[in-house]
Amino acid sequence: MSDWVEPLGMRILIRKDESRHTTKGGIVLPDKAEIPNITGRVVEISVQIARDDDFPIKKYDKVLFNPSEAIPVDFEPDNVLYVVPIEDVVAVFRRGDAKTTEVSSAEEQEFEDPEDWDE
């Protein structure tokens, strides 16, 4: 029998990516200057989110999340699992053909041209 964590309510379980100790330019940072990392992979999704079409999140998606409400899960020795409310997920990284939303001409007309604004 294996153990696992199942998030309840409108929450997901995320495995946080490792924090960077080196910048993209190759500069090694001291431990105290570590760049905060708020990306991770979705490990598990609650039943409510799986059934809700408004949240296009699936297992193994890479996500960007706000860590302020993330709850650390003391389940693994490296403690990189977090239960995160779905409203704290701010982006999902996608590859390949991204879905784009077509804007109708009627919707375009709702937006004013900034040059037409009175000062």
Residue 81, classified by CB atoms within 10 Å of its CB into exposed (0-12), middle (13-18) or buried (19+), is: buried
Structure confidence at residue 18 (pLDDT):
76
Domain, as residue range, for 75? 11-21+28-116
Q: Compare 8 and 77 and report the one with higher pLDDT.
A: 8
pLDDT tens column, 49-102: 999 988 889 999 999 999 888 999 887 677 689 999 999 999 999 887 655 555
Question: In this structure, is residue 56 part of a structural domain?
Answer: yes
Cα–Cα dist 27/35, whole Å: 12
Question: In this structure, is residue 4 part of a structural domain?
Answer: no
| 92 contacts: CB under 8 Å, gap ≥ 6 | 56, 57, 61, 62, 63, 64
Structure confidence at residue 17 (pLDDT):
85
| 11 contacts: CB under 8 Å, gap ≥ 6 | 46, 49, 83, 84, 85, 86
Question: In this structure, is residue 2 part of a structural domain?
Answer: no
Under the banding of pLDDT at 50, 70 and 90, the label for residue 36 is low
Cα–Cα dist 35/81, whole Å: 19
The whole model's pTM is what?
Answer: 0.66
Count Cα neighbours of 50 within 13 Å in the Cβ-side half-sphere.
12
Structure confidence at residue 102 (pLDDT):
52
Domain count, the chain: 1
CATH of residue 86's domain is 2.30.33.40
